Amino acid sequence: MAIDFKDVLAEKRALIWKEYQKYLPGKSKPIEANDKVGNYKEEDEFFWKSVSDYPKRQGKYIRGSLILLVCEALGVSQENAALTGAAMQASEDWLLVHDDFEDGSMQRRGGKTLHRIFGTNQTINAGDALQIIMWKMLRNNEKILGVEKTFRVMDEFEKMLMRTSLGQSVEIKWIEENKLDLSDEDLMFVIGGKTVYYSIAGPLRLGGIIAGLNEKQLDLMYELGVPLGRCFQIKDDLLDLTSDFEGQKKQVGNDIFEGKRTVMLGHLLRTAKGEDLERVKTILAKGREEKTEDEVKFIIDKMKEYGSLDYAADKAASLKEQALKVFDEKLGFLDKEPGRSKLKAGIDFILERKK
């Protein structure tokens, strides 16, 4: 019987959330005898409300699930990886809190973005608190993984998050400069930072570190992560232009509103002609609040007309096949069932998902 990867994600999410929520108590403990935090109940509750908002909305948990699935496919207890999975999810939540503010985004997981609820200053603070929680989770891994693996996991997080920050910086820079001459190589560089390592290769490697893989095997996990991570991001960008995320998203084309540089936008800028190209450039020169829905729709329509959406979809499908080839031919050591089959179902899910 075919594996429904949504069921797999639900199973892993339950394990990860069980650990995550332990770090969202909703109430601060006094740090010493004279700490009067208990006298400021209203302020403390407000703080935890802002900090807990994104975690309680719960995303797909793909990243944390990959950590657990690698352990399952290697015959290692998922209980050993659940706290690392929770830290992975906390990292996603604080990054999204900050990214949504930086991008001026309107919605996240079916609701308003945090800065549109709590304002700029409280939002930045909530993201900072979630990052502190993430590092606390990773430090507490010592009780589960021992000292050496705990620090190896923390080192992997540092590398992963620094590469993500670089990718975010480059993307912001190109948006602010309104950079238009973008090759696929340029776009893959940003994807490499923001998605390949952070969303796929890093979680795969983290599961491998916990399970005790050697360096050569960890390198192979990264080799799988490159095409799969690229596929993941291109699919995400396509969904932004073509899907309402099963009713959770009210505005199609957020990436165009925000000026995101995507594979399909790069293709359109290279292939559009005459007045079409000039209008696209004029729209892209505007800030988020200046763009109209009609202008965004114009760019999406031109992406369809010039084959940009098909170009991206074909590239994503090709990348998925590359990932499957690596998985089938080089990752035979991920041999414990049903973990291996669940991982393979995840590769299909990344391309075929509807949200």
How many CB atoms neighbour CB 314 within 10 A? 12
Tens digits of residue pLDDT in 270-311: 999 999 999 999 999 999 889 999 999 999 999 999 999 999
193 pLDDT tier (thresholds 50, 70, 90):
confident
What is the share, in percent, of the chain residues with pLDDT greater than 90?
A: 89
Checking if the pLDDT of 248 tops 60, the result is: no
pLDDT at 42: 96
Q: Which residues contact 266 (CB under 8 A, 6 or more apart)?
A: 182, 183, 184, 186, 187
Checking if the pLDDT of 243 tops 90, the result is: no
Half-sphere exposure of 105 (CA within 13 A, CB side): 25
**In one letter, which amino acid is 72?**
E
pLDDT at 300: 96
User: What's the average model confidence in pLDDT over 41-65?
Assistant: 97
pLDDT at 154: 98
Q: How far apart are alpha carbons 10 and 14 in whole angstroms? A: 6
pLDDT at 355: 75
Q: By mean pLDDT, which of 22-31, 195-204, 237-246 is the weakest?
A: 237-246
pLDDT at 194: 84
Q: Which residues contact 256 (CB under 8 A, 6 or more apart)?
A: 241, 265, 283, 291, 296, 299, 300
Q: By mean pLDDT, which of 71-75, 76-80, 105-109, 318-322 is the weakest?
A: 105-109
pLDDT at 246: 53
Checking if the pLDDT of 247 tops 70, the result is: no
Q: How far apart are alpha carbons 263 and 307 in whole angstroms? A: 12
Checking if the pLDDT of 227 tops 90, the result is: yes
pLDDT at 139: 98
Q: How far apart are alpha carbons 339 and 3 in whole angstroms? A: 11
User: What's the average model confidence in pLDDT over 164-193?
Assistant: 93
User: What's the average model confidence in pLDDT over 79-100?
Assistant: 97
Q: How far apart are alpha carbons 86 and 233 in whole angstroms? A: 22
Query: Cα Rg for the chain, rounded, in angstroms?
Result: 21
User: What's the average model confidence in pLDDT over 169-174?
Assistant: 94
Checking if the pLDDT of 78 tops 80, the result is: yes
Q: How far apart are alpha carbons 98 and 90 in whole angstroms? A: 13
Per the CB < 8 A criterion, the answer to whether 246 and 354 are in contact is yes
Residue bearing tokens 């590092």: 135
pLDDT at 241: 92
Is 181 buried (19+), middle (13-18) or exposed (0-12) by CB count in 10 A?
Answer: exposed
The tokens describing 160, both together, are: 């992963």
Q: How far apart are alpha carbons 189 and 32 in whole angstroms? A: 48
Q: How far apart are alpha carbons 118 and 52 in whole angstroms? A: 12
Into which CATH architecture does domain 5-24+48-348 fall?
A: Orthogonal Bundle (1.10)
User: What's the average model confidence in pLDDT over 4-17?
Assistant: 96
Checking if the pLDDT of 249 tops 60, the result is: no
Please, what's the b/e burial string for 132-149 (b: 16 or more CB within 10 A of its CB; e: otherwise)? ebbeebbebbeebbeeeb
pLDDT at 80: 95
Per the CB < 8 A criterion, the answer to whether 209 and 70 are in contact is no
353 pLDDT tier (thresholds 50, 70, 90):
confident
Q: What angle do CA 263, 264, 266 make, to 5 degrees?
A: 65
Taking each helix axis as running N to C, give the angle between helix 263-271 and helix 308-330, from 0 to 180 degrees, rounded to the nearest 10. 130
250 pLDDT tier (thresholds 50, 70, 90):
low
pLDDT at 352: 84
User: How far does the chain reach from its first CA to its final CA, in angstroms?
Assistant: 23
Domain boundaries, the chain: 5-24+48-348
